[in-house]
A and B are shown apart, each in its own frame.
Chain A
Amino acid sequence: MIRWNRLGLTFDVSKYRSSSFRISHAQAVASLDQGTHLRLYYSTRPEPDESGAFVSYTSFVDVLPTDPTVVIASSDEPVMELGGRGTFDEHGIYPFSPVVFQDRLIAFYGGWSRPVSVPFDVSIGIAESFDGGVSFERLGPGPVLAPNMDEPFIISGPKVRMFDSTLFLFYIAGSRWVGDPSEREPVYRIRVATSDDGLRWNRLGKDLIPCLDGDEVQASPDVLFSKGKYRMFFCYRNSVNYRGSSGSYRMGYAESSDLINWVRKEHAPVLTPGPEGAWDSEMIAYPHYFETGGSAYVAYLGNGFGREGFGLAKVEFE
């Protein structure tokens, strides 16, 4: 049993506009408990270029540990600059997932590039912060996890977790592009890799979450441990016809005893779209679970994939 208590759109990006990097979107929240405050990283965008293409930057907002709906500080800068010419992260740093590992604050992030034949490609990079999480520096100009023999493109959506001193990276791997040449859409599925040092990764090499149908696209594999089991919130949708219609993102849920074998709970009481007119009436996307001040929450995106900002819901497992 899972209980939800909606708290609404708690971070409205329009109140924090900065023309250089933050005009719209606050996507893919990742939290970092820093004691006096909870830091919530998210990815945002300046105005698109003449062709309508966006870049993404990662920034953060600090909220009260006792009430994460209350913003106490907002970053004025992106945490990292975009990559140089021809690099894997030249056109975006999104999403972003920090972890404290061996006394270092490191982060894994999706780096975006622009091929000619399809709209984008993504590989995962690694960065480290030397100023308590305000800014991060790349450990190298290239990616730490890139397409390989069995994962031909779109290695993205990193969410890193530490369990028993091993790093687990939950991520998505693209399997194919579908649709007409002018409207290509990717299909990607959730996977996992493990590492002892953050640099050399062993990929499990298979999809973790069984699909409901052959076209399903999965994202945002958000893993937590609570009440004796590993749990994953994620989101899923159709591969085409999903922008603001019935095929759009819904929250998914799965359980595991070993982080490798997952049972999808299709009928679990996940958070469903809000009433007509609500900010989350059409989709529930990119969930992120965190605990603070004795309660548990899920940050998530509503209509427009987080174009307006992100919201929160209190959650309780029974």
Chain B
Amino acid sequence: MTDQYVTKHGLIFSSQTMLSGTGLEFAQSPQAVVFDNFIRVFFTSRYRDDDQWVSIPMSVDFDSELMAPISDARRVEFSKSVTGGFDEHGIFPFSPLKVGELLYSFTTGWRRMKSVPVETAIGLMISSDGGISFERHGTGPIVNRSLMEPFLVCDAQVVDWNSQFHMFYLFGTKWTDDPRTGAPERTYKIGHLVSDSIDQWPIGTGTPIIPEIIPLEAQALPSVSPNADGLEMVFCFRKSTDFRQGGPGSYDLGYASSIDGESWTRNDFFVKWGRTKFDSEMRCYPSFLDLANRRVVLYNGNSFGRFGFGMVSLWR
């Protein structure tokens, strides 16, 4: 992986252009599904409600080479949350997985709390129309906080590998007040669960699988894909506090590989890529996508993806 030929395409979806007139901003955590004649990219946008952002899942279609959008951006359709439900205040991210004729999505639901800004949990939705509309699988989450994982269970992505479903996700370890702003900030780490069924998952163990390289590192958005030797992962990482303005400690892309899914070797070679205007201050919320001749990394740049998402091709 590290010595592959790389092309940086920069921004391929501009939210200012594609979401103009909708009242929506941001196009976060792009995650794509390949169909016969097009590629459907799911992402999350936000609207303003009562002085707070609410995140909603969206999709847009691209040509099969991911050169340009061939559809408008549209909201993903699904039923509203119940009152008091785990995703009452938004969904981000939205992680699709094609299994046969169905498209599943692992969602992260947000709900606002009083003593901390938010709590999250992982839900499951199912689509039989290629991802235009989804049915909720149950009214509550399929993965939630548990004995050793006290809060902020989120960012699930599932890969079907070696005849089992592998979920890579986050669990929160700490809430810390930012010394400069006093605002509570989150620390989370990447975890791993294995199951024979897509909706029943074992209890998390609170064991981080990716070693940290900075103190109180917050890791996010793991995206895992198989390769010839096992699995590889792209994710993002930052300091726990003072990371919102860009500069050292703000989000950058990490990389790790594993032969068994349990034990991972970290090698953040992505950090050596040159930066462009799109990602001059931060790089975050990545996902892998396999095309015929290359593996692609879709990701967000500055301002946590406010302005759209971009792409890097890793040629085989």
Contacts and interface: CB of A to CB of B under 8 A. Distances in A.
Given A84-B150, A140-B148, A142-B145, 7 more contacts: A117-B111, A141-B150, A142-B148, A149-B137, A150-B140, A153-B85, A186-B84
Contacts of B199: 149
A34 interface: no
Interface in B104-144: 111-116, 119, 121, 124, 137-142, 144
A239 to B, nearest CB: 13
Nearest to A88: B145
Contacts of A151: 140
A216 B196 CA distance: 38
A140 B147 contact: yes
Contact of A117 (B88, B139, B142, B203): B88
B276 interface: no
B73 to A, nearest CB: 28
A149 B141 contact: yes
Given A143-B145, A147-B144, A199-B203, A121 B84 contact: yes
Contact of A146 (B85, B144, B184): B144
Given A117-B88, A118-B83, A153-B85, A142 B113 contact: no
A123 interface: yes
Interface stretch (A5-13, A108-116, A227-235, A274-282): A108-116
A149 B146 contact: no
A152 B139 contact: yes
A88 B83 CA distance: 19
Contact of B151 (A87, A117, A152): A87
Contact of A142 (B83, B88, B149, B175): B149
Chain B interface size range: 35 or more
A99 interface: no
A152 B147 contact: no
A20 interface: no
A88 B151 CA distance: 8
B141 A114 contact: no
Which of A117, A144, A199 has the most B CB atoms < 10 Å from its CB?
A117
B115 A117 contact: no
B82 interface: yes
Contacts of A88: 145, 150-151
Contacts of A84: 150
B172 interface: yes
B205 to A, nearest CB: 10
Interface string B133-175: 0000111111011111111100000000000000000001001
Nearest to A140: B147
A142 B121 contact: no
Interface residues of A, number: 38
Contacts of B86: 147, 152-153
Given A85-B175, A149-B199, A151-B140, A115 B84 contact: yes
A174 B149 CA distance: 22
B140 A149 contact: yes
Q: Which of A121, A147, A200 has the most CB of B within 10 A?
A: A147
Contacts of B151: 86-88, 142
A170 B115 CA distance: 29
B140 A116 contact: no
A146 B146 contact: yes
A102 to B, nearest CB: 18
A176 B82 contact: yes
Contact of B83 (A87, A113, A117): A117
A114 B85 contact: no
A185 to B, nearest CB: 11
22 contacts: A86-B113, A87-B150, A87-B151, A113-B119, A115-B111, A117-B84, A123-B145, A141-B150, A142-B150, A144-B146, A146-B144, A147-B86, A147-B140, A147-B144, A149-B124, A151-B140, A153-B84, A153-B85, A176-B82, A177-B83, A184-B83, A184-B84
Interface string A140-170: 1111101111111100000000000000000
Contacts of A83: 150
Nearest to B88: A117
A115 B115 CA distance: 8
Interface string A215-259: 000000000000000000000000000000000000000000000
Interface string A105-140: 000000001111110010100100000000000011
B147 A148 contact: no
A77 interface: no
A98 to B, nearest CB: 18
A88 B116 CA distance: 12
Contacts of A186: 84
Contacts of B112: 115-117
